[in-house]
Amino acid sequence: MKVKISIIIPHYNNFQILLNCIESIYKSTFKDFEIIVVDNGSSDSSDTIVKEKFPNVIVKKSLINLGYAGGCNLGSKIAKGKYLLFLNNDTIIEKKCIENLFLKIESHSNISSVQPKILNINNKSFFDYAGASGGFIDYLVYPFARGRVFNTTEKDTSQYDKSIKIFWASGACFLTREKAFKDLNGFDENLFAHMEEIDYHWKCHLKNYDVWVEPKAILFHYGAQTLKVTSPQKTYLNHRNSLILLLSNYSLIRSITYFFTRIPLEILSSFYDLFNLRIRHFIAHYKALLSILFNLKLIAKKRNFIRKIRLIDDNTLFNKKIVFNKSIVIRYFFMRVVNFKDL
């Protein structure tokens, strides 16, 4: 039976946070949904436990960890909804969250995606790192959000409660059109985890869709329950994937120019980790740079796909004022600008 929304939750171990997430969904004021849990090869019997407690939940088991991108794509293949709601397992949904997301995306056919306001579950008066109140990038593809710049998160005093167009909606939770997701080939599984939602929404923009944040929809997020902030692998994936996006989604001249502009900032960032005695994170920056040599075929393939779907050029994208034309690395680390509104 056709439903309005298919809620897709990629999951890997720690079944208790998943159970809490599902319980919050069932308390939602919006009822026309199905829940699909994609178990990414968990070793703690998560799939069995979910089936026993929530028999109406669809559990799709993968024998290996497909990552966020692969898990979401797998779930989308069996989804029956007009819209897809991608949701992290370490989240708690406020009861009107889905309803408000649905009303926003239904308000205009040109909206591809919409995210809620995301607050930190351990300190609910502060924005969460993962998306806060809507995501942006600077021209060198460093991401930030209303309420979060690098590691600084702001207190939520309703300063970002206006619904606006954004560059990217957070993978922690966003609602998107099933047709747009399939037309754009979903998430790039080569990215595995981190930045895949930015890549997807970049494609949405090039296809001339709009992406919005709806702060009336509220979500609470634990954050980093699968791959910890302290993990060098997280640093590697974030920087590698950011560089791949930079080299894939811009025009060729802009990609090359920005890549070489970014290298000194990568070096500065690595020494920041070295200064803080994060030795393996320091090395991860150079692994990310080196990995570009091994991803040239992937970059060429992504560029070819972008060429086929692109309806707007880079200048038009910049004119939307959703890409920051200055370096947030310089403004944050050297000019000490830490709040979004001051950028």
Q: Residue 175 CB: number of other CB atoms within 10 A?
A: 30
Which domains occur in the chain, in start order? 3-221 (3.90.550.10)
CB 111 within 8 A of CB 105: yes
* Total-model pTM: 0.95
Check whether 92 has a pLDDT greater than 60: yes
Q: What is the spatial distance between Cα 83 and Cα 2, in angstroms, rounded to a whole number?
A: 11
CB 39 within 8 A of CB 59: yes
Of 80, 92, 146, 152, nearest to 122 (Cα)? 92
**What's the count of helices (H) and strands (E) in the chain, helices before strands?**
12, 15
Quickly state the pLDDT bin for 231 (edges 50, 70, 90). Answer: confident
Check whether 254 has a pLDDT greater than 60: yes
- pLDDT single digits (tens) 116-164: 999 999 999 999 999 999 999 999 999 999 999 998 999 999 999 999 9
Q: Residue 304 CB: number of other CB atoms within 10 A?
A: 10
- pLDDT single digits (tens) 257-279: 999 999 999 998 899 899 999 99
Q: Residue 253 CB: number of other CB atoms within 10 A?
A: 9
Q: Output the CA torsion 327→333→336→340 (10° steps).
A: 50
Bridge partners of residue 120, in order along the sequence: 123, 221
CB 146 within 8 A of CB 87: no
